[in-house]
Amino acid sequence: MMRFARLVMCFVIIVLAGVSRSQAQTTSEPRWYGEIAVAATLGHKSDKAFGGEIGGRLSETLDVFIEAGHMGNVGNDDLEARAQKIAAFLGGTVGSSAYKVNFFDIGLKYRVPMTGMWHPYVAVGVGLAKVKPEVTFGVGGTDVTGELESRGVQLGTDLSESQNRALVMVGGGTTIDFATRYFADVSYRYGHISETKSGDEVLIKGLSTQRVQIGVGIRF
């Protein structure tokens, strides 16, 4: 994981240096941009997400960007099955189960050459995701999550501890210009979070994330 983080940081330095060189060549129009976005996550369970993005132009068709954000729930069948084992021992039910994710990635966007206000693009990025499992349990209609130890239950790492994993993102969308330097950004972004292991034990299976999002930004 540390090696992966160092590779990401090297990539950041290289691409930002490229932006600076490109900016030095032409400064007649805005080359940087920033935006904020809200999203809906798709998949096993739908939820909300939000984030922000900054970027700069490398060429007429290529941008570099960094995005970061939070996804409310990317839980899957495997998480529910693990939680259900605890619920069965308690003689109760799973109240809720979720993987909450904080993430960032850095990548490149290819902007399809077009005139007018619509500017389609495809994007790819690599980064890191912090995955936090959150589960609750009920017995007889009462939440007993805070009483697990007194009931003889100690949650394992797979249901209680955050994990930092590699993230790969691919997506596409379009920006829509309005006013002078403002734009809307409508996109779909797919992410894959790598599997987490402790020895031979799988703590978190590889996670697939999907975001349909809309953002508002400014060029400067």
pTM metric for this prediction: 0.86
- Which helix H or strand E contains 99, and what residues bound it? strand 93-111
Determine the structural domain holding residue 195 and report its residue range.
Answer: 2-23+31-219
State the pLDDT confidence band at 14, using cuts at 50, 70 and 90.
Answer: low
What is the secondary structure of 136-151 as a DSSP string? EEEETTEE-GGGTGGG
State the pLDDT confidence band at 44, using cuts at 50, 70 and 90.
Answer: confident
Q: Measure Cα distances from 11 to 17, 51, 102, 121, 177 in Å.
A: 10, 21, 20, 21, 29
Q: How far apart are CA 28 and CA 45, in angstroms?
A: 46
What is the number of domains present in the chain? 1
User: What is the Cα 192 distance to its own chain's centre?
Assistant: 9
- Asked if residue 21 has pLDDT above 80, the reply is no
Output the domain CATH number for residue 154: 2.40.160.20
Q: Cβ-count burial of 115 within 10 angstroms (0-12 exposed, 13-18 middle, 19+ buried)?
A: exposed
* pLDDT tens digits, 114-171: 889 999 999 999 999 999 999 999 999 999 999 999 999 999 999 999 999 999 999 9
